[in-house]
Amino acid sequence: MTANPFRLLPPVNEVLRVPRIATLVEEQPRELITEAIREELNLVRQKLRNGWTESDLPDAETLAERVIARFEKAYQPNFRTVINATGIILHTNLGRAPMAEEAASAAYHASRAYLNLELDLESGKRSSRQLAVRNWLCKLTGAEAATAVNNNAAATVIALRAICQGKEVILSRGQLVEIGGSFRIPEIMAVSGAILHEVGTTNITRIGDYAKAINENTGALLRVHTSNYRIRGHTKAASLEELIALGNEHNVPVIDDAGSGAMVNLLPFGFSDEPRIQDSVQAGADLVLFSGDKLLGGPQAGILVGRAKWISMIEKDPLMRAFRLDKMTLAALEATLRIYLDERRIFEDIPYLRMVSTPVETLQERAQRLLPVLTKLPGVQSATIGEGVSFVGGGSLPDESLPSIVISITPSNISVGDFAYALRMGTPAVVARVRDGQLLIDLRTVFPDQDKDLTKALSEALTKCAGAEGKNDSNASHAVEDKPSPEDN
């Protein structure tokens, strides 16, 4: 008669001796492999309890294969390269701005050897890490002084704290923004110790509203760029120039939270006028704050430029230590800023600006080259080229789009949700949009040198889906959203 099938299961040690596993153990962490074996054996035991019989038991080879697959899944790094086919250029969930080669290389070199992070090589004395970016920022923006912290949220907190703690900060009700997650101006104000003094209404705030609110305890006039939303229709906001004139009259500093941090004019690409950092500085703002990884196209950072007096107060704030940038980010930021010194290089070397400035015709040509290959992939019912729209994203230029070219793929036999899931789980992962049963590939955000990898990933995902089909895979729902969530900033 049949033996107790539980007894037929090999012990962990025996599985470790299966040649394929033994080879793996020589090169990979033994603990994790053992864990994978235990988990796989537990799974088999559970199946036995649920009705499996001896004949269902996997042989040693099959078991080894499953253990290896389990181990590989458990041991793979969490971060993987993603091909961004969403058309959202500064996709916050995908790391916002991809950095320029030079910036990436600067971060790499800064990380793997010693460098003069806080040492003046000339004198041999201690110096400031901010020197890596200070002079470039001053040159580019015309500001007297500059400093950089971890991100623009930190820049806002530290600026308000260093300059306005215990004092009132006057802000229009039309600019009480939430950037995403828990970054909301009233909360940030509270954390910094400044007192929010709201003026005006959601749609209309005049300079007179600010003037009336100024008192002996006013610490600053704050303007927050409504980078991730727009108020339209019957609206009025005081201009930066008006705020600066008022501030000067009362000897109150003006802080401009520019947010997105545009350094170049994006008008030629059909975008409306995004305020440029150097314009705010030239207009006379005391402090201008912006992100490093939005429209600057660099690493995550919060940059503060403006009058030396305020920057020096900020650099003396105890939070500076908590918010300071590490050497890799500073190196990457410096390299990014240096690119801006040469106008000819900006649109070539800053990847997001290269994407923004790629003509539709170029995308069309790439699509034409890809289409015949994609159409022939097994599992593709149809693939077509059409017009689409890309977005800057990252909480910048919220409702403005760029014309783009989209390849729409309809898979045969499998659901588009399963297809999109398999793509996300592939190597490299591909993130695309789904609409009306089709997978949409926006070529604007796919680097041209990724076209081959993209084709390969699509092919592999289709093969994988075809293999899983009919197996009644337990991967619950693979529904994907067509649009980025509002939290994407």
Span of 73-81, 253-261, 414-422, 434-442 interacting with ligand PLP by CB under 6 A: 253-261
The smaller minimum CB distance to ligand PLP, of residues 179 and 434, is found at: 179
Q: How far is the CB of 488 from ligand PLP (least distance, A)?
A: 11
**For 88, which DSSP code?**
B
Task: Give the count of beta carbons closer than 10 Å to the beta carbon of residue 56.
Answer: 11
DSSP, residue by residue, 392-410: EETTEEEEEEEEEEEEEEE
Question: Which two three-digit tokens encode residue 487?
Answer: 């939290």
Task: Give the count of beta carbons closer than 10 Å to the beta carbon of residue 486.
Answer: 12
Q: In Å, what is the CA distance from 314 to each residue of 243, 304, 311?
A: 22, 9, 5
Q: How far is the CB of 395 from ligand PLP (least distance, A)?
A: 5
Three-state secondary structure call for residue 74 = helix
* Binding-site member from 257, 274, 286, 334 for ligand PLP (CB under 6 A): 257
Q: How far is the CB of 352 from ligand PLP (least distance, A)?
A: 15
Strands 396-411 and 254-259: unpaired
Long-range contacts of 422-425 (CB under 8 A, 24+ apart): 422/460, 422/461, 422/462, 422/464, 422/465, 422/468, 423/457, 423/458, 423/461
Question: How many residues would you count in the chain?
Answer: 489
Nearest-angstrom CA–CA distance, 156 and 171: 13
Q: How far is the CB of 230 from ligand PLP (least distance, A)?
A: 13
Binders of ligand PLP in range 341-370 (CB under 6 A): none
The smaller minimum CB distance to ligand PLP, of residues 300 and 390, is found at: 300
* Binding-site member from 291, 404, 450, 459 for ligand PLP (CB under 6 A): 291
Binders of ligand PLP in range 177-236 (CB under 6 A): 179, 183, 224-225, 227
The smaller minimum CB distance to ligand PLP, of residues 260 and 438, is found at: 260
Q: Are 262 and 234 in contact (CB under 8 A)?
A: no
* Binding-site member from 200, 219, 253, 259 for ligand PLP (CB under 6 A): 259
Binders of ligand PLP in range 145-164 (CB under 6 A): 151-153, 156
The smaller minimum CB distance to ligand PLP, of residues 141 and 151, is found at: 151
* Binding-site member from 219, 298, 388, 395 for ligand PLP (CB under 6 A): 395
Q: How many residues bind ligand PLP (CB under 6 A)?
A: 15
Binding site for ligand PLP (CB under 6 A): 151-153, 156, 179, 183, 224-225, 227, 257, 259-260, 291, 302, 395
